[in-house]
Amino acid sequence: MSLQRLAMPGLRIFLTGAGVSAESGIPTFRGAEGYWTVGAREYHPQELATHYAFTQMPEEVWAWYLYRRAVCRAAPPNAGHLALVEAERLLGEQFLLVTQNVDGLHLRAGNSRERTFEVHGNIDYYRCSENCVAEHFALGEGFLPFAKDQKLSAEQQALLRCPRCQAWARPHVLWFDECYNEEFYRYDSSRTAAARAVALISVGTSGATNLPVQMGYIAAQRGAFLVDVNPEQNPFSQLAQQQGGSWLRESASTGLGKVVKAMQHG
Ligand code: OAD
């Protein structure tokens, strides 16, 4: 299937999921490696990544996040991330990256903050759990490394506090029992952008979350060209095929290499 339409002028949105970071060695969200033991019980990420779990066992939820953050920080960006940096360089203001990944790898690879919407947050940041202030703060070089099953020390617990009101700090990520919003997660901006896009390229996502799927449908309704990069079938690959778009059934790095080439040469 031809990718020529990717060279047309106008906003091109890249929508990324955990599959883009898989080649950097970060386990995907729904893969087998996400389980976590607290006491005698095994928890699935969908149980731990909730506001409810945080209210019940903040130390354990923080330990899980700090461990996952340490894994992310040790992972280097891969060729897929670098292709997206090249895409931004080529397209400038006609480029937007909307990522579900909280690992911060797109920013570390070199995409700009301005044109990267982290719609599920970023694991390198924290904010007040009581929302006393809208700002979020960098964890910086603290808490690294953090081993699997490590417990928080009393000193570490004391550091995980809101700098203003001293309530528990919380990871700056969207939890399963929470809703998207504009303030933290660029919800409205992402939807508005989808309605303007001439092309939407989804990469390495299972299409299990609400905003990304909405963006796919909005872009499709407006006649955008849809491309999906994923070795496995998913809602975006189906939508792309129904709309005369393209499914590149391959890894993020290989598929994104082709996409960027098509943007240059049609
Ligand atoms: P998932 O773990 O659900 O899906 C990963 C997708 O990546 C699958 O469709 C795989 O086929 C694909 N994949 C695996 N390796 C790949 C590779 N090398 N190249 C390309 N694709 C590959 O991850 P997400 O779709 O990102 O949200 O999950 C979305 C959201 O679900 C997460 O951000 C998280 C969770 O709910 C929150 O925590 C709010």
Q: Read off the pLDDT of residues 47-58 as tens digits, 9 standing for 90 and up.
A: 999 999 999 999
CA-closest residue to ligand 1 atom 23: 18
Q: What is the residue range of 31's domain? A: 1-266
Return the ligand 1 atom nearest residue 176 CA.
Answer: 39
Determine phi and psi for 193, rounding to 5 degrees. -65, -40
pLDDT digits 0-9 by tens, 205-226: 999 999 999 999 999 999 999 9
Position 41 pLDDT exceeds 90: no
Catalytic residues: 120
How much is the pLDDT for 149? 84
* Tally of domains in the chain: 1
Token digits of residue 4 = 């020529």
Task: Report how far apart, in Å, the C-alpha atoms of 50 and of each of 98, 109, 152, 170, 231 are.
Answer: 22, 29, 19, 11, 29
CA-closest residue to ligand 1 atom 18: 251
CB of residue 251 inside a 6 A radius of ligand 1: yes
| pTM attached to this predicted model | 0.97
CATH code of residue 226: 3.40.50.1220
Position 143 pLDDT exceeds 90: yes
How much is the pLDDT for 43? 86
- Answer whether 42's CB lies under 8 Å from 50's CB: no
230, 237, 248: residue to mutate for ligand 1 pocket, most atoms within 8 A of CB: 230
Burial 138-155 (b: 16+ CB within 10 A, else e): ebeeebeebeeeeebeee
